[in-house]
Amino acid sequence: GDSVTQMEGPVTLSEEAFLTINCTYTATGYPSLFWYVQYPGEGLQLLLKATKADDKGSNKGFEATYRKETTSFHLEKGSVQVSDSAVYFCALSDGGGAQKLVFGQGTRLTINP
């Protein structure tokens, strides 16, 4: 079945550091790919998404490019802030009929001042 694998956390960085969180997927169809973020004590909210190969999703300085050849959707940000501390989830939804989001295991990110 479909699956998503994220880099193991937790990840701790200093403010203004460069961030990469790796995400790879396995899917039988042509999935849409998402990054959701969960701030402490809150529900998930969409950070960005891409619905077809080579699309780049971007929001709040974060970017991810849908790479079909490497089945990846890595999240990047050039200069992180303390307020970016959260848990980040990579996810896919398969248009082939499963009609559900499949999540990676989440990566906890802590940014120190």
Partner 1 sequence: DTAVSQTPKYLVTQMGNDKSIKCEQNLGHDTMYWYKQDSKKFLKIMFSYNNKELIINETVPNRFSPKSPDKAHLNLHINSLELGDSAVYFCASSLGLAGLGETQYFGPGTRLLVL
Instruction: Using CB under 8 A, list all residues that contact partner 1.
Output: 32, 34, 36, 38, 42-46, 49, 51, 87, 89, 93-103, 105-106, 108
Cβ burial, residue 2 (10 Å; 0-12/13-18/19+): middle
56 versus 79: smaller Cβ distance to partner 1: 56
* 52 Cβ neighbours under 8 A, 6+ residues apart: 30, 32, 66
14 versus 45: smaller Cβ distance to partner 1: 45
CB of 42 to partner 1, least distance (A): 6
CB of 71 to partner 1, least distance (A): 17
Closest CA to 92 of 9, 10, 25: 25
61 versus 96: smaller Cβ distance to partner 1: 96
CB of 97 to partner 1, least distance (A): 6
For 84, phi and psi rounded to 5 degrees?
-85, -5
